[in-house]
Structure 1
Amino acid sequence: MASCSPSAAVELGAVGGVGSKVDAQLQDAVRLKTEGNACYREKRIRAAIGRYHRALLVLRGLDSDVTAAVQGFGPQMPTTTPKQEELLRSTQVDCYNNLAACLLQRECVDYARVQEYSLRVLQWRAGDIKALYRAGVAALELGDAQTARHYLSQASRGQPNDPNVRRYLQRAEERLSSDYQREKALYKGMFAKQKDEAGEGGVDSGVTQK
């Protein structure tokens, strides 16, 4: 079992050369993610968040989406093999997913950040149930019931019996229904007011005095 402390990483490639440097960075990121998972299980949420952020920082220098944007402005960035790219992306996705889970455990939840991290996961791993659920919860708490229903409905299709998904989906539906009724009453009141004003301010139908 991993502990919330530095640990040896599994060897990924041969010693020496650019390939081994990339492997070493990937090993470091995987180690940090594993330590973060251990911290999370130990309820050390702040420490877990720190590990995940450090892992993502290590991976940032290998991410082709990032390196392509800065190509030509500094040293040549190392290229990754398809296998390395797969591990890189998988580790990133896990870290963002786990960061969102950590933030939801905090006393004061930053729902905007939860949504941001969950959407990053969905960008790379469309259909991820946990990310769909967390994106839906965050959207609902941020006041966007329509978007919340969109994500929670997708999560519900993947996990139809999950009580948390069902509960938040029901809350989103209730919020939308409440918003609809409130909007309906508002428009009804506006039309009634316009009708009353038109009746009071109409053309005088009385006899013209000469």
Structure 2
Amino acid sequence: MKRLALGGAVGAAFILCWVGAGLEPSSLLDPANLRAVAAFVRGLFPPDLSPGFLRVAAGATVRTLAISVVGTALSAILGLCLGVLATASRVEAWSAPRWPRSRAAGAAEPGGAVPATASIMFDPEARLRPLRALAYAVARATLALLRSIPELVWVLLCILAVGLGPFAGVLALGLHTAGVLGKLYAETLEEVPCPRGSVAAQAGSAEGARERNGSRGGGRVAEAALV
């Protein structure tokens, strides 16, 4: 019953939108419109192969390809920069502590917590973590904004900003595609193991092994002294 009511509500909303938009499918069969379409199709044949028209068409084609190449290059550079900042695994790796456990144990309070001053003292990057988290959030929001706005809207905005011309097309293509490529870059980088985290983990394991070996060596020396 609920599904039936939901389907009826969706159907009613669709009908209201159809009527509100003023759609008239009968206009497709209007004789005046059919004559206009026929005149347009007749104008396509025979094609204009005059030298003047071909020169104009060739110049426009080259200009379009140039806009595409420059816009794609701009989007790749901008998308890569934002994609690196918008990678969650990199932010998590940057937020991991970088100072040895022996120093952490020495600086720990009686309750086991490490004071913030000791964290900043032994880990200089601690001050940068809030900035990196902020950069991550800003990059993610920027990528979402860039790819959510259609290219046509970007073209209109860029025309208002820089005027008519190829530069507006380059900016519109670069901004929208940067949002798409940046998201792809971020998703790809998140699948790659972070080298800094691996190095830190290996360093921690090596230090722990040295501490265990040192404690064993001290115990053996004490046993030898007692003997």
Q: Fold-level match, TM-score > 0.5?
A: no
Q: TM-score by structure 1 length?
A: 0.30
Q: TM-score by structure 2 length?
A: 0.29
Q: Which has the higher helix share?
A: 2
Larger radius of gyration: 2
